[in-house]
Amino acid sequence: MSGSSSSLKPPADASAPVRHPEAPSPGELLGAHYDQCFGCGGEQPHGLLLEARAGEGVSLTAEFTVQPAHQGAPGLAHGGVLASALDETLGSLNWLLRTIAVTGRLETDFVRPVPVGSVLHLQARVTAVAGRKIYSTATGRLGGPDGPVAVRADALFIEVKVDHFVDNGRPEEIRAAMNDPDQVRRARAFEVNP
Ligand SMILES: CCCCCCCC/C=C\CCCCCCCC(=O)SCCNC(=O)CCNC(=O)[C@H](O)C(C)(C)COP(=O)(O)OP(=O)(O)OC[C@H]1O[C@@H](n2cnc3c(N)ncnc32)[C@H](O)[C@@H]1OP(=O)(O)O
C-alpha cells in the first residue's frame, strides 16, 4: 500500500528546486550538521552514523548500516529508526539548497523487513519548493543502490532561521553549540544568500 496526503503534493505555483552555487560537488561527503545529531553525528554511539554524499541537482545518496541497537523485532530494524534514517537523509538535502529547514511532515511506507547488519542504500531528492516549503522524496534499498526498495518516504520540510534552535533548544546544548566555532560556522553558512 502506498499513497501520500494532499499536504505533500506541491501547489500549482511551486518551483523546481535550485541547487545552491556553493553546494558541495556531486560525490562529496556532506558531513554532520551537528556532532550530537542522532542521525548523522559522530558523537552518538547508538546513532545512525549516516553519511550522505551530494548527488546531481538537488539529490543525494546515503548509507545506513543497521546495528543491534536499532532493533525492533529480533534481528530486524525498528520502524521508527528506519523513519529516522529517511528523515535524516531528507533533511540533509537542505545542505544543497543552503537552507535551514525542519521536518513538518514525514510519510513513510515500510515495504520489506530490514535485517540487522544490512546496509540501507538511501536516495533522496527535492521535488519542489514553494516559499518556505520544501517537498522531497526518498527511498531505501537493500543489497545495493539498485536493490529492492525496503522503505520510502515523502516529506515536507519548512525553512526556519537559526533562531528556531536558539529559542527552542535546551539552553545548555545551545550554549555549548554557540561556543563551538565550527558549529556556528556550519549554522551560519546556511544563511548566506545565493
Ligand atoms: C549556533 C547554534 C544554533 C545551532 C544551529 C544548528 C543548525 C542545524 C542545521 C540544520 C538542522 C537541521 C536538523 C535536521 C534534523 C532532521 C530533521 C528533523 O527531524 S527536524 C525535527 C523535527 N521537526 C520539528 O521539530 C519541527 C516542529 N515544528 C515547528 O517548529 C513548526 O511547526 C514549523 C517550524 C515546522 C512551522 O511553523 P511556523 O510557525 O514557522 O510556520 P507555519 O505557518 O505553521 O507553516 C508554514 C507553512 O508550512 C505548512 N505546514 C507546516 N507544518 C505542516 C505540516 N505538518 N503538514 C503540512 N503543512 C505544514 C503550513 O500550512 C504553512 O503553509 P502555507 O505557507 O500557509 O501554505
Q: What is the ipTM of this complex?
A: 0.97
Question: What are the residues facing 137 on neighbouring strands?
Answer: 125, 154
Task: Quick: pLDDT tens for 18-64.
Answer: 999 999 999 999 999 999 999 999 999 999 999 999 999 999 999 99
Whichever domain contains 44, its CATH number is: 3.10.129.10
Asked if residue 7 belongs to a domain, the reply is no
Asked if residue 3 belongs to a domain, the reply is no
Asked if residue 4 belongs to a domain, the reply is no
Give the DSSP per-residue string, 142-192. Answer: ESSTTS-EEEEEEEEEEE--THHHHHHS-HHHHHHHHT-HHHHHHHHHTTS
Task: Quick: pLDDT tens for 52-100.
Answer: 999 999 999 999 999 999 999 999 999 999 999 999 999 999 999 999 9
Domain range holding 23? 15-189
Asked if residue 5 belongs to a domain, the reply is no
Choose among 115, 187, 152, 117: nearest CA to 2.
Answer: 152
Asked if residue 6 belongs to a domain, the reply is no
- Within a 13 Å sphere around the CA of 145, how many CA atoms are in the beta-carbon half? 6
Question: Which triple of cell numbers denotes residue 191?
Answer: 544563511
Asked if residue 171 belongs to a domain, the reply is yes
CA of 177, closest atom in ligand 1? 2
- Ligand 1 centroid – CA 157 distance (Å): 6
**Hey, CA dihedral for 48, 154, 25, 147, is it positive or negative?**
positive
How many domains is the chain built from? 1
Residue 103 near residue 110, CB atoms below 8 Å: no
**Residue among 60, 102, 162 whose CB has most ligand 1 atoms within 8 A, to mutate:** 102
